[in-house]
Structure 1
Amino acid sequence: MLDKSDWAHLIPHQGTMCLLDGVVRWSADAIHARTDSHRRADNPLRSDDVLRAVHLCEYGAQSMAVHGALLAREAGEAASPGFLVSLRGVSLAVARIDDLQGPLDVFGERLMGTDSSWQYAFRIEHAGIEIASGRAAVMLAGAPGMGNRE
């Protein structure tokens, strides 16, 4: 397992906004991360002392960021910052997640990746049961239409 200290500096999500705790495994096409951040009182996505299931989309998006950063590092490069531009086919099986005991397993599968965009399918499980899934698209900084945002 790759500890957060190995890769957190490679992504834009810092401090408590870095929601993933570790990477269980990853390959050129997929990532499996794990986290307990959904139970933390300082989770920045909480409102009214509740963390709603819709925020699992951010967990999926962060798995994309970590995966892209690990791929870039392996190639001797730095990943370009990305901007989430689309969520599709999102399915949520629970209303909230702050009351779930035990870690979340976050899976991302790269469906397509170019110099300007990425598309992933994501799935989040709790205790082996799928609680969220969907697809996400990210446009990378410097991509046509995004301008240079460095």
Structure 2
Amino acid sequence: MLAKTDFIDLVPHAGDMCLLDGVLAWDASSIHAISTNHVSVSHPLRGERGLHAVHLAEYGAQAMAVHGALLARESGATEPRPGMLVSLRAVKLDVERIDMLAGVLDVHAQCLIADEGGAQYTFRVEHEGREIASGRAAVIHPAG
């Protein structure tokens, strides 16, 4: 397992905005991360009514960022590469709020295609073995 301290310097998500607690597994095309901060009353995305499930897309996007950063580090990169989330598609949410779900969120991302200009992934988030969110996301890497 990789702890947050093993990847936090590789992604732009600093402090409490780094939503993932660790990485259980990853390979050339996929990553399985975990998080427990969705129940925190100080969660940075929490609103007056709690933490809406739409924010699970951010968990998926962060898993994508960590995956890309781990691959880049493995290839010898020494600096994090900036990326910009530009598209979410086919997002399905099976719950309304996530702050009421005790325990661990399992965040999975699968790379569909990636090159120097960006990447496209599918993601899914599970709670206690039940899929609660899924979709596709695209990120671009701005030039220079």
What TM-score range do you get, normalising by the shorter chain?
A: over 0.9
Alignment of 1:33-48 (within 5 A): 33-48=33-48
Count of aligned positions: 143
Q: Deviations over 1:55-91 (max 9, x none)?
A: 0000000000000000000001134210000000000
Structure 1's unaligned 5+ residue stretches are 143-147
Q: For 1:16-71, what per-residue CA distance to the aligned partner results, in whole angstroms no more than 9, with x for missing partners?
A: 00000000000000000000010111210001050000000000000000000000
Partner of 2:70 in structure 1?
70
Q: CA deviation at 1:12?
A: 0.1
What is the aligned partner in structure 2 of residue 3 from structure 1? 3
Distance 1:40 1:87 in 2: 25
- Worse-matched range after superposition: 107-116 or 74-83: 74-83
* Identical pairs, percent: 57
Match for 1:15: what amino acid? G
2:120 counterpart residue number: 119
Unaligned runs of 5+ in 2: none
TM-score by length of 1: 0.93
Q: Is 1:137 aligned to 2:138, yes or no?
A: yes
Please, what is the CA RMSD of the aligned residues? 0.8
| SS of the residue 2:7 aligns to | helix
Counterparts of 1:17 and 1:79 in 2: how far apart (Å)?
16
Judge conservation of contact 1:104–1:126 (CA < 8 Å) in 2: yes
Taking structure 2 as the reference length, the TM-score comes to: 0.97
* Letter of the structure 2 residue corresponding to residue 76 of structure 1: G
Which residue of the partner structure matches residue 128 of structure 1? 129
**1:141 CA drift (Å):** 2.1
